[in-house]
């Protein structure tokens, strides 16, 4: 039995921010397969419902929201509870950043990156917590962090700082909102892109990067989804305030490549 098939979320309600593509869509697909009712959100309505995550003949619902706005984040959570009557899991996945030199990026750019990657998860989590605290069995919140928040992040300084703040936020919320609500972070490393030659450059460059990972490949959205399924499950019932690294063994220290003559 695969990790995706070992969790039963029948009758559970899951909200995933930014769940229409990439990692978010992979997470939505996994929870649908596990039997959950899933609501995803985004700033733009998909042109066709068939673009929404689907599994086993069941499709995720969609709600239009810019989760950087606390009112819209609150309406997202309200939409889920109005539609399904409860909220069991929130996955704060919406985020990201283009590359920009810290020396020349505008103050507005930095502010927007921090809003999306740190403040938006806080807005959504506050709204979800208010609902979960009133439920007998509480709920679970999982943030999608990044290794960029655990080590220097040249080219995406504001993003790395925001993710570092997100990791710290989780540890604090896990204390404030216990025992009803568990809060954890999944921390992905390199994740394979749906479309090659994007963030990692050419397909050859992406393959070379993958070879630096001890497990010799990048993560897939399904790898990240499996971690979310676990952290939100009863099997992780005593895990809160934790960071689960999904990075294939991490990034070997740069000095080793120099010492071995590979750079």
- The secondary structure of residue 192, as a DSSP letter, is -
CA proximity to 60, closest of 97, 32, 93, 26: 32
| CB distance 197 to 203 below 8 Å | yes
**CA distance linking residue 92 with residue 126, whole number of Å:** 12
Strands 139-144 and 54-55: unpaired
| CB distance 15 to 128 below 8 Å | yes
Q: Which of 109, 159, 200, 238 is catalytic?
A: 159
Q: How many CB atoms lie within 10 A of CB 183?
A: 28
109 is catalytic: no
Sign (positive or negative) of CA dihedral 150, 152, 158, 159: negative
**Rounded (5°) CA angle 164-184-143:** 60
Q: How many CB atoms lie within 10 A of CB 74?
A: 18
**CA distance linking residue 47 with residue 57, whole number of Å:** 20
Name residue 142's beta-bridge partners: 91, 184
What the block records as the tokens of 19 is 């769940």
DSSP codes of every residue in 33-45: HTT-EEEEEESS-
Q: Tell me which residues are annotated as active site.
A: 159
């Amino acid at each position: 039995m695969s990790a995706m098939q070992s969790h039963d979320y029948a009758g559970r309600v899951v909200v995933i921010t930014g769940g229409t593509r990439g990692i978010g869509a992979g997470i939505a697909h996994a929870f649908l397969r596990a039997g959950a009712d899933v609501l995803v959100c985004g700033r733009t309505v998909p042109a066709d419902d068939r673009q929404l995550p689907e599994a086993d003949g069941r499709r995720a619902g969609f709600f239009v929201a810019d989760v950087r706005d606390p009112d819209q984040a609150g309406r997202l959570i309200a939409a889920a509870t109005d539609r399904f009557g409860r909220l069991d899991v929130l996955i704060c996945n919406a985020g990201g950043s283009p590359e920009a030199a810290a020396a020349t990026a505008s103050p507005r750019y930095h502010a927007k990156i921090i809003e999306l990657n740190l403040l938006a998860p806080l807005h959504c989590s506050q709204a979800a917590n208010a609902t979960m605290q009133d439920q007998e069995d509480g709920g679970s919140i999982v943030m999608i962090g990044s290794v960029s928040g655990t080590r220097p992040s040249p080219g995406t300084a504001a993003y790395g700082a925001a993710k570092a703040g997100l990791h710290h936020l989780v540890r604090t919320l896990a204390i404030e909102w216990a025992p009803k609500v568990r809060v954890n972070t999944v921390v992905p490393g390199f994740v394979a892109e749906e479309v090659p030659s994007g963030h990692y450059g050419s397909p050859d460059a992406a393959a070379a990067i993958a070879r630096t990972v001890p497990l010799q490949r990048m993560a897939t959205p399904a790898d990240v989804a499996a971690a979310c399924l676990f952290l939100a499950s009863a099997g992780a019932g005593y895990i809160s305030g934790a960071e689960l690294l999904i990075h294939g063994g991490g990034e070997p220290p740069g000095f080793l490549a120099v010492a071995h003559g590979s750079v």
